[in-house]
Amino acid sequence: MELHELTLEQARELLDRREVSAKELAQAFLDRIQATEPQVRAYLTVTPESALRQAEAADQALSAGRSGPLTGIPCGIKDVFCTKDLTTTAGSRILENFVPPFDATAVARLKRAGAVVLGKQNMDEFAMGSSTENSAFGPSHNPWDLKAIPGGSSGGSAASTAAGSCLFSIGTDTGGSIRQPASHCGVVGLKPTYGRVSRFGMIAFASSLDQAGPFCRTVAGAAQVLQAMAGHDPADSTSSPLPVPDYGQALKRGVKGLKLGVPKEYFVSGMDPEVEGATREAIKVLQGLGASTVEISLPHTEYALAVYYIIAPAECSSNLARFDGVKYGLSVRQEQADLMDMYLDTRSQGFGEEVVRRVMLGTYALSAGYYDAYYGKAGQVRTLIKEDFLAAFQEVDAIVSPVAPTAAFELGQKADDPLQMYLSDVLTLSVNLAGLPGMSLPSGFSPQGRPIGLQIIGPHFAEETVLAVGHAFQQATDHHAKRPAL
C-alpha cells in the first residue's frame, strides 16, 4: 500500500510507531498532489515549503512524546478560510491577491493540533454553487470520473480527499457544501451543529447558516478532526460555550437500540432510483446492526428551497458589501472616476455571474417595502422547518436520508441553469436552516460508478450520535474503502 492510500487512523499508527516520519508522509502527499492535480484540479495553492517545515516540527513533537491525534497528518483547507500570510481567494477574482494577516480559528486549531497544511482548495466563488464550476479559477474534477462535477461548493476539498491528495480537509456548509460534494466524491463530510465550530476567519456567505467541518475517508478520522476544530471561541459570539465531548469515545456506542427516522418527504420525484436503492440498502444494514427505523414526516420540507434562496442571498448581499475596492482585494480605480465608479467597477469586474445574481436577489429581498414579505416571512417559515425536526427528535435519535437526488452530474450539464443547480441541495439545506448536525458518508455507487452518499442528521449538538451511526455503518460496509482509479 502506498502512503497516500492510508486512512487517517493508519497514518496515525505509523507515525506513532515512528515507522514513517511526518516529513516522509508530507512528501508522499506532495508527490500525490503533483501526480493528480493535472486531472483533478483540487488545489488553488500548494505550499510545499511550509508543509515540510510543519512536518519537521511534527517529527520533533513526536520524538519528544508531545504529539496529539493530528500531529503530522497532512491536510488541505478550503480557500474560504483565512490563512496567515497565504493567499485566500474564496474562489473569487475580487480576492485573487488577498493575503490575510491571521489564521481562521478552525485553521489555527488544526495547526495547534499538529496538522500539516498542504495548501488551499478550490471552491465555488464565495461558496455559492454545487459543482465548483462557479470558481473564478476553473472547476475541479471528480476523481471517480473526470467528466463529472465533484459537487460544491467545497468541491476541491472533497475531490482531494477522494483522490488521496490529502488525508483530510476542511470545508464549509451553508446549504449542503460539505455533504453534497462528500456524497459525490465518495468520502465522509460532516457539517456540525451551528455554533459547534468557530466561524471566525471564515469568509462569510450567509452568517446564520455557515458552518465549518471536516472531510475524511472514515468517520473515525472525521471525529478526530472535529475534536480539534470544535469548541467555544471568544472571537465568534455565535460559537457555543457547551463543552466538546470525546468524539473518539462516541464512536464505540454503535447503533443498537437507536431509533432512526426516515423522512418520507426526502424521497423526492426526480430522484435517481439507484440513490433511493442505496439508501434503502443502507437502512437495512443499520437495522441489521440493531437500530430500529420508523417513517417520519417533516411536513415543511417543500418550502426549504424557497426559504433558503431568500435567506442565503439576503445575508450574502449584506456580507459581500465589504468588497468595494476600499479595503480588501481588487480595487479598480480609473482616472477621473468618483467613489461610486470605483465601487461599480470593482464589483462588476471582481464578482462572477452567480455572485452578482445572489447579491441582486438578496438586496431586493431586504429592500424597504419588501423586507417583511420576503426576509421576514422566510424567517417565520424557517422556524416551522426547525420545529418539524424538533418534533421528530422527540421520537427518534437520528434521521437517515439520501444526500443528493442524483449521483454527480456532468461538468457543464447544469452550469447555465441556476434552478437545476439549486435543486442539487434540496435534501441538505433544511439541516442548515434548522442549525442541525448532518453527515454524508459513502453508501454505494451508480451504475456508471459514481458514488452515492447517505445522510445522517442528529439533534442539536448530538454529533456523537451522528458519528456513532456512521462509524457502525462503516464497520459493516466497505463502500468507503473503494478508491478511484487515478
Residues labelled catalytic: 78, 153, 177
Q: Which long-range contacts (CB under 8 A, 24 or more apart) does 243-249 make?
A: 244/196, 245/463, 245/464, 247/223, 247/463, 247/464, 247/467, 248/69, 248/220, 248/223, 248/224
Least Cβ distance, residue 127 to ligand GLN (angstroms)? 4
Q: Which residues, numbered 19-78, are part of the site for ligand GLN (CB under 6 A)?
A: none
- Restricting to residues 394-433, name those near ligand GLN by CB under 6 A: 425
Q: Near ligand GLN by CB under 6 A, which window of 49-57, 140-148, 168-176, 471-479? A: 168-176
- Backbone φ, ψ for residue 45 (5° rounding): -140, 135
Piece of 173-181, 268-276, 405-413, 442-450 that binds ligand GLN (CB under 6 A): 173-181
Whether residue 77 contacts residue 120, with contact meaning beta carbons closer than 8 Å, is answered with yes
| Contact positions with ligand GLN (CB under 6 A) in 269-328 | 312
Residue from 177, 279, 430, 455 touching ligand GLN (CB under 6 A): that is 177
Least distance (Å) between residue 362 CB and ligand GLN: 11
Nearer to ligand GLN, 43 or 308 (CB): 308
Of the candidates 36, 174, 193, 227, which one interacts with ligand GLN according to CB under 6 A?
174
Find, among 51, 33, 343, 347, the residue nearest to 163 by Cα: 33
Q: How far is the CB of 18 from ligand GLN (least distance, A)?
A: 40
Which lies closer to ligand GLN via its Cβ, residue 176 or residue 453? 176
Per CB under 6 A, which of residues 105..144 are in contact with ligand GLN? 127-130
Least distance from C-beta 59 to ligand GLN, angstroms?
36
Judged by beta carbon, residue 229 or residue 421, the one nearer ligand GLN is: 421
**Shortest Å, Cβ 282 to ligand GLN:** 23
Q: Which of 47, 54, 89, 153 binds ligand GLN (CB under 6 A)?
A: 153
- The reply on whether position 183 binds ligand GLN by CB under 6 A is no
Handedness of CA 39, 43, 45, 47 (dihedral sign): negative
- When CB distances to ligand GLN are compared, the closest residue is 177
404-425: string of b/e by CB count within 10 Å (b at 16+)?
bbbbbbebebbbeeeeebbbbb
Residue 82 identity (one-letter amino acid):
C
Angle between helices 22-40 and 155-163 (to 10 degrees): 120
Q: Which is nearer to ligand GLN, 71 or 211 (CB)?
A: 211
Q: Does 205 bind ligand GLN (CB under 6 A)?
A: yes
Minimum gap (Å) between residue 153 Cβ and ligand GLN: 4
Closest CB to ligand GLN among residues 425, 464: 425
Answer positive or negative: Cα dihedral of 152, 156, 158, 163: positive
With CB under 6 A as the contact rule, which of the stretches 138-146, 170-178, 196-204, 399-407 interacts with ligand GLN?
A: 170-178
Q: Minimal distance in Å, beta carbon 404 to ligand GLN?
A: 10
Rounded to whole angstroms, what are the CA distances from 88 to 91, 436, 464? Answer: 8, 28, 32
Question: Dihedral of CA 253/256/262/266: which sign?
Answer: positive
Q: Is residue 176 involved in binding ligand GLN (CB under 6 A)?
A: yes
Of 362 and 470, nearer to ligand GLN (C-beta) is: 362
* Cβ closest to ligand GLN, residue 331 vs residue 413: 413
- Whichever of 36 and 174 has its CB closer to ligand GLN, that residue is 174
Location of C-alpha cell 470544535: 230
Q: Which of 182, 11, 156 is nearest to 76 (CA)?
A: 156
Is the torsion defined by CA of 27, 29, 32, 38 positive or negative? Answer: negative
Applying CB under 6 A, the site for ligand GLN has a residue count of: 13
Q: How far is the CB of 368 from ligand GLN (least distance, A)?
A: 25
Residue 64: exposure state from Cβ atoms within 10 A (0-12, 13-18, ≥19): exposed
Binder among 175, 192, 213, 438 for ligand GLN (CB under 6 A): 175
Closest contact distance (angstroms) between CB of 62 and ligand GLN is 36
Measured from the CB atom, is 206 or 472 closer to ligand GLN? Answer: 206
Burial zone of 369 (CB within 10 Å; 0-12 exposed, 13-18 middle, 19+ buried): exposed
With cell 474534477, the residue in question is 141
Q: Which of 59, 125, 145, 173 binds ligand GLN (CB under 6 A)?
A: 173
Which residues bind to ligand GLN, rule: CB under 6 A? 127-130, 153, 173-177, 205, 312, 425
